[in-house]
Amino acid sequence: MSDLTFEIETNAAPRSAGDRAALMANPGFGKVFTDHMAIVRYSAGRGWHDAKITARAPIPLDPAAAVLHYAQEIFEGLKAYRTADGGAALFRPEANALRFRRSAERMAMVPFPEEAFIAAQRKLVEIDRDWIPDTPDGSLYLRPFMIANEVFLGVKPASEYLFITIASAVGSYFKDPNGTVTVWLSEHYTRAAPGGTGAAKCGGNYAASLAAQAEAANQGCEQVVFLDAAERRYVEELGGMNVFFVFEDGTLLTPPLSDSILPGITRDSIITLAREAGMTVREELYGIDQWRDDVRSGRQTEAFACGTAAVITPIGRVRGREDDFTIGNAVAGPVARRLRTLLVDIQRGNTSDAHGWFQKVF
Ligand code: PLP
Ligand code: COI
């Protein structure tokens, strides 16, 4: 057990109710931030200490802080949902805490205690409760992260870290919450290599994906599809989401986890919910040639992206240097819609939850 206790320092100058309402009217994603943050320090001598919920503010960083040079940084993403009774709930926060630990281990960082991770999220949601949207697509997106802030230019795992969680009132990640997205098949760039950091949620993976994401945006596409780095053949995932394929016989397929795919909590939840609903889910390698053929032949009826930010977003069209194919008439298909309802109903507490995934905060 960790004995970290969060001291609460209430923001002396929070946003007014009017300002908050104006900001939350159309929040988009990741632009509207709350009044507080959680912050905890680590040093080799003292361990994790100085845990606080305090006013959200810039963090002073020495220009030689290790994160600024060697990118020792990890993060998480989870959401707090407004429940019908006016309360709030988290979805599987212990899964994020565990993945955060694994990311820390991969990046040679000191793991943050899982119970303190969950406590930080709960306390922040409690204190910033007025920032949780009550719209059907709205939620409070929590962004825990950890940086190496030791002041040292030698290349080695740092001995000082900062754990922080900030919170952002969000609407849907993509512009049209009921639409489909077009994805760009990245043939030149890869996201993650065998033995690399693809299964860790570290900022460097996203930095490495940005040139491909910019290429996608230039082509009018919302996300990038990455192929495996070794053979450039198997579909792995999107820049910020896992991927599922649906076939005419109702079966689902998603690429198997490896050290180059982020183990999504949404992915894991969908596999469980789909199997409980009687569907067959295969975790198998899926080649790009097969994808083209299956869509052309009509064997594949739907494909969708999934993640905390994206929830379940159908993929309507795939484009690439030599590709342009449309899946299921580019409208949200019945399997994606059904799974989305099953998932969202648990997240928002509209249905019973047999898995202990839904965790009430207040
Ligand atoms: N893959 C990548 C690269 C991601 O950034 C995310 C988002 O966190 C996911 C998959 C989906 O993970 P989760 O469902 O845990 O949000
Ligand atoms: C999330 O879904 O939490 C992510 O980190 C993905 C990112 C595209 C916002």
Q: By C-alpha distance, which of 125, 140, 130 is closest to 37?
A: 125
Do 242 and 302 reside in the same domain of the chain?
A: yes
Look at residue 352 and tell me if it is in a domain: no
Q: If pLDDT is split at 50, 70 and 90, which confidence band does 351 have? A: very high
3-state secondary structure of 166: strand
Q: CATH number of the domain at 21, please.
A: 3.30.470.10
Q: CATH number of the domain at 201, please.
A: 3.20.10.10
Q: Is 12 exposed, middle or buried (0-12, 13-18, 19+ CB in 10 A)?
A: exposed
pLDDT tens-digit map of 214-268 = 999 999 999 999 999 999 999 999 999 999 999 999 999 999 999 999 999 999 9
End position of a domain, from candidates 144, 170, 196: 170
Distance (Å) from CA 76 to ligand 2 centroid: 8
Residue 160 bridge partners (DSSP):
43
Contacts (Cβ under 8 Å, ≥6 apart) of 206: 239, 240
The CA distance from 160 to 255, in Å, is 37
Q: Quote the pLDDT of residue 2.
A: 61
Look at residue 176 and tell me if it is in a domain: no
The ligand 1 atom at the shortest distance from the C-alpha of residue 242 is: 10
Look at residue 101 and tell me if it is in a domain: yes
End position of a domain, from candidates 170, 204, 234: 170
Do 198 and 315 reside in the same domain of the chain?
A: yes
Do 165 and 213 reside in the same domain of the chain?
A: no
Count structural domains, the chain: 2
Q: Quote the pLDDT of residue 176.
A: 87
Q: What single letter denotes the amino acid at residue 8? A: I
Q: Quote the pLDDT of residue 178.
A: 87
Do 127 and 208 reside in the same domain of the chain?
A: no
Look at residue 54 and tell me if it is in a domain: yes
Residue 234 DSSP label = B
Q: Quote the pLDDT of residue 104.
A: 98
Look at residue 354 and tell me if it is in a domain: no
Do 12 and 37 reside in the same domain of the chain?
A: yes
Q: If pLDDT is split at 50, 70 and 90, which confidence band does 306 have? A: very high
Do 159 and 304 reside in the same domain of the chain?
A: no
Q: With 70 as the cut, is the pLDDT of residue 1 above it? A: no
Average pLDDT of 326-339? Answer: 96
Q: By C-alpha distance, which of 239, 242, 217, 229 is closest to 188?
A: 229
Look at residue 89 and tell me if it is in a domain: yes
pLDDT tens-digit map of 144-187 = 999 999 999 999 999 999 999 999 999 999 988 889 999 999 99
Do 162 and 195 reside in the same domain of the chain?
A: no
Do 326 and 230 reside in the same domain of the chain?
A: yes
Q: What percent of the chain has pLDDT over 70?
A: 99
Domain with 109, as residue range(s), is 7-170
End position of a domain, from candidates 141, 170, 199: 170
Distance (Å) from CA 309 to ligand 1 centroid: 8
Contacts (Cβ under 8 Å, ≥6 apart) of 194: 229, 230, 258, 259, 260
Question: Among all ligands shown, which has an atom nearest to the Cα of 173?
Answer: 2
CB of 202 within 8 A of CB of 106?
A: yes
Q: Helix, strand, coil: what percent of the chain each, to 5?
A: 25, 30, 45
Do 97 and 139 reside in the same domain of the chain?
A: yes
Q: What percent of the chain has pLDDT over 90?
A: 98
Distance (Å) from CA 187 to ligand 2 centroid: 22
Residue 17 φ then ψ, to 5°: -60, -35
Q: Is the CB of 121 under 6 A from ligand 2?
A: no
Q: Quote the pLDDT of residue 182.
A: 98
Q: Is the CB of 138 under 6 A from ligand 1?
A: no
Q: Quote the pLDDT of residue 3.
A: 73
Do 269 and 320 reside in the same domain of the chain?
A: yes
The ligand 2 atom at the shortest distance from the C-alpha of residue 173 is: 9
Q: How much is the pTM?
A: 0.98
Look at residue 356 and tell me if it is in a domain: no
Do 140 and 190 reside in the same domain of the chain?
A: no
Q: Quote the pLDDT of residue 199.
A: 98
Look at residue 359 and tell me if it is in a domain: no
Do 20 and 52 reside in the same domain of the chain?
A: yes
